[in-house]
Amino acid sequence: MKEKIESNAFLTEAYGSYDDLLSFCKHLPKIELHAHLNGSISKETAIQLIDRKGDPSLAQRWASTLEGWANAASKLDDFFPLFKCIYEITNNEEAITYATIQTIGEFSDDGVTYLELRSTPRPNLGTGMTKASYANAILKGIQSASKSHPSTTVRLILSLDRRESTESCLDTVDLAIQLKNKTGLVVGIDLCGPPTDGTAVVFAPAIKRAKESGLKVTLHAAEIQNIDTDTQNLLLTSPDRIGHGTFLNTHAKTHLLTSSTPIEICLTSNVLCKTVETYAQHHLQGLLFQDHPVILCTDDKGVFGSSLSEEYAIAAATFQLRKEDLYELSRRAVEFVFGSEECKRTLRNEWERFRQNNGIGKWTGWNRGV
């Protein structure tokens, strides 16, 4: 269950109430850069997909898995069985496209102006789905959603799973390169999966090929304790961003601070996975006060039940961030998107219009009194 945000004197003075804060956060233009497609599928969309399949046993397994997860999840590894059930729901191209359209719509309704979805292309022998048809099904959904939700720009990151072989990772990168050249919608690759599986040696050739092709690279790094060697080896590949960065040792932290590598921050995900005990103990605070590049993200909004607006509101209530701070957080994220320079210029103009139209004052630095 998500940690409850209590009202406090700062929140009352700066916003009036938590509801007023959340309203501001929904109105604020936002950028989402760490959103796994399957984990972002809402319960409502999952139920619709199950109904479309007409399989009562699948509905029963879904309900049972959700109940077991809600009652027993206590660490990061406990969440992976839930994804296995989700993959049963999205095991064909039609389901993937539908899930993509619905998920984009939900992000758009939450005020997300630019979205980078990420997903590992998953072949399915039972349905005949291939890596290529999986990725193309997502792109079909993105193209369809661009008509129904034109205010949200969407790009795709193809993920490498740490359980894959070097050859499989290279296949995914080659697919990403092909689709990047064909559609312009694929902008990068990601490395994800159980953090103790695989080694950097397995993934390095694929990461190298991606970078040489012009694809951007983001890596899940330092998600759990006692993987310092893996983290250091991953950082040596010079990623454009990293996800989480929860347990960076001194050497890795120095590397990141020196290189100013942006970190994708997922507050609720970290708290629910017990890699961080409470919001107040989250490493976001230290990164802000070091003025290190960070981006607030949801990770898996469907699984963790937290929208991007809620993540902004949680950060504000926990670390005493004013409207100017939240605007600065969202504005800075523009510079870290994997989209083109033209895309960034368009986003910068949109943020400036919001600032002028909503009386956002001059930013004077992060509050250090927390």
CA atoms of 262 and 242, how far apart (whole Å): 7
* 278: number of Cβ within 10 Å: 9
Q: Is the separation of the CB atoms in 37 and 103 below 8 Å?
A: yes
Q: Which of 88, 93, 164, 223 is catalytic?
A: 223
Element (H, E) at 35: strand 30-36
Rounded to 5 degrees, what are φ and ψ at 192?
-145, -170
Rounded to 5 degrees, what are φ and ψ at 366?
-70, 145
Tell me if residue 44 is catalytic.
no
Rounded to 5 degrees, what are φ and ψ at 41?
-65, 120
Rg (CA), the chain: 20
CA atoms of 14 and 366, how far apart (whole Å): 14
Q: What is the torsion angle, in degrees rounded to the nearest 10, for the CA atoms of residue 42, residue 47, residue 53 and residue 57?
A: 120
Q: Is the separation of the CB atoms in 191 and 162 below 8 Å?
A: yes
Name the residue type at position 146: S
Q: Classify the C-alpha dihedral 273-219-174-346 as positive or negative.
A: positive
Q: Which residues contact 130 (CB under 8 A, 6 or more apart)?
A: 123
Would you name the residues annotated as active-site residues? Answer: 223
